């Protein structure tokens, strides 16, 4: 049989943003009195090899695009908070990110909020989350300062735009109208914000976690500007198969090397994207999917750098006011 599907690599999608980012970095450097490149500081306080390689890779990408990058290793986790506060106060630092997990519990969520929102390149600050969940795009009433979006969900939106799942013939804010998307992950970092973002753009989203399945929509008519959530039931094979076979797009993010999404649940011609570090799809995915994106990390880092530029621009605008 002929396989009609195509694999699209994250590097191909990331390339679309490189030029825009590099040009903006140059403009910022020119505008600055000291001509300093924007500085991103990464905090590494664990000995996780995945975090180590992510850090190396952030550094490489930063430098290749004209940013400065500094990795600060914190040997004793208990000193991380102080070090973040120091970076918050340091005018030479433009962006801050922390390689999680650090404590691997709720303390990590506390640490996320210690990063000043003016320097939070990952978009994890509560204010940014709340704006996203409420479909608020600006930080100020005059709409001059754009809000930041969490970088992994944002990367998935940009990937869906690249794959033309977003229909540009429809008005902005409704470009996923009529599309059904299944998201296999409902973490606070990726899955839940992603479901909300896609629902805010008009999609029907089946949000699947280990326990149950929920449906996110924007609600009927113009009354609702933000997403609505409905419980559909437990995550049982019959329900999972039903919602997935109904989906035009399937996005997987299960953090387990053993998990494989059943190929027979994929609708013929669906778009399939995996953002998990692990390969969640079987090799025969291409016999069903029209477009398959096996990993997304390279697009995420582009969004992180784009967020950083936006933060620098927001700070410039605030200084002028
Ligand atoms: P997490 O552990 O916080 O959340 C995992 C989610 O998957 C939970 O909602 C859980 O209920 C769900 N889940 C687990 N097993 C399931 C199953 N069998 N069926 C349905 N749902 C199931 O993890 P996370 O922070 O969301 O990260 C998930 C993965 O994504 C990791 O592999 C991580 O490395 C990767 N990740 C990638 C990027 C990127 O840019 N590509 C960014 C962040 C995280």
Looking at the fold, whether 303 and 225 belong to one and the same domain comes out as no
Residue 71: which CATH number?
3.40.50.10860
Residue 203: which CATH number?
3.40.50.720
Q: Which tokens hold the place of 147?
A: 């809000």
Looking at the fold, whether 84 and 50 belong to one and the same domain comes out as yes
Looking at the fold, whether 255 and 309 belong to one and the same domain comes out as no
Q: Please give the residue range of the domain that contains residue 116.
A: 20-121+299-320
58 CB under 6 A from ligand 1?
Answer: no
Supply the residue whose CA is at minimum distance from atom 43 of ligand 1.
Answer: 152
Residue 284 is predicted with a pLDDT of 95
185 CB under 6 A from ligand 1?
Answer: yes
Q: pLDDT tens digits for 145-167?
A: 999 999 999 999 999 999 999 99
Alpha-helical runs (H) found in the chain: 10-31, 49-64, 80-89, 106-114, 126-133, 151-162, 191-200, 237-245, 297-320
- 102 is a domain residue: yes
Looking at the fold, whether 305 and 235 belong to one and the same domain comes out as no
Residue 205 is predicted with a pLDDT of 98
Q: How far apart are CA 298 and CA 300, in angstroms?
A: 5
Looking at the fold, whether 182 and 240 belong to one and the same domain comes out as yes
Looking at the fold, whether 26 and 109 belong to one and the same domain comes out as yes
Residue 220 is predicted with a pLDDT of 63
Helices 297-320 and 10-31: crossing angle, nearest 10°? 20
Looking at the fold, whether 270 and 303 belong to one and the same domain comes out as no
Supply the residue whose CA is at minimum distance from atom 1 of ligand 1.
Answer: 187
Number of domains composing the chain: 2
Q: What are phi and psi of 72, to 5 degrees?
A: -110, 115
Residue 221 is predicted with a pLDDT of 54
As annotated, the active-site residues are: 151
For residue 234, give the 3-state DSSP assignment. strand
ipTM: 0.97
Looking at the fold, whether 166 and 191 belong to one and the same domain comes out as yes
Q: pLDDT tens digits for 175-199?
A: 999 999 999 999 988 999 999 999 9
207 CB under 6 A from ligand 1?
Answer: no
Looking at the fold, whether 186 and 270 belong to one and the same domain comes out as yes
Helix (H) or strand (E) holding 168: none
Residue 224 is predicted with a pLDDT of 60
Looking at the fold, whether 186 and 248 belong to one and the same domain comes out as yes
Q: How far apart are CA 150 and CA 313, in angstroms?
A: 17
- 147 is a domain residue: no
Q: Which atom of ligand 1 is nearest to the CA of 186?
A: 9
């Amino acid at each position: 049989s002929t396989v009609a599907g195509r694999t699209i690599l994250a590097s191909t999608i990331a390339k679309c943003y490189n030029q825009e980012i590099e040009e903006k970095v140059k403009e910022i450097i020119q505008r600055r009195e000291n001509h300093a490149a924007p500085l991103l500081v990464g905090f590494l306080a664990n000995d996780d090899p995945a975090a180590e390689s992510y850090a190396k890779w952030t550094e490489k990408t930063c430098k290749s695009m004209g940013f400065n990058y500094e990795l600060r290793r914190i040997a004793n986790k208990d000193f991380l908070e102080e070090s973040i506060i120091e970076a918050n106060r340091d005018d030479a630092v433009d962006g801050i990110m922390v390689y999680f997990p650090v404590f691997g519990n709720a303390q990590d969520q506390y640490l996320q909020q210690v990063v000043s929102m003016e320097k939070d390149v990952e978009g994890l600050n509560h204010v940014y989350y709340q704006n996203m969940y409420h479909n608020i795009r600006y930080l100020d009433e005059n709409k001059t300062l754009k809000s930041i979006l969490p970088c992994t969900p944002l990367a998935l939106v940009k990937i869906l735009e690249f794959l033309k799942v977003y229909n540009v013939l429809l008005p902005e804010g409704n470009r996923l109208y009529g599309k059904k998307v299944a998201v296999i992950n409902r973490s606070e970092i990726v899955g839940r914000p992603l479901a909300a973002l896609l629902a805010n753009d008009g999609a029907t989203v089946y949000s699947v976690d280990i326990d149950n399945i929920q449906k996110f929509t924007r609600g009927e008519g113009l009354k609702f500007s933000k997403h609505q959530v409905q419980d559909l039931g437990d995550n049982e094979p019959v329900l999972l198969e039903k919602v997935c076979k109904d989906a035009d797009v399937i996005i997987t993010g299960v953090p387990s090397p053993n998990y494989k999404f059943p190929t027979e649940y994929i609708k013929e011609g669906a778009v399939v994207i995996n953002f998990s570090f692990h390969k969640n799809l079987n090799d025969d995915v291409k016999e069903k999917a029209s477009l398959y994106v096996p990993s997304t990390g390279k697009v995420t880092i582009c969004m992180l750098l784009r967020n950083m530029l936006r933060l620098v621009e927001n700070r410039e605008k605030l200084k002028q006011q």
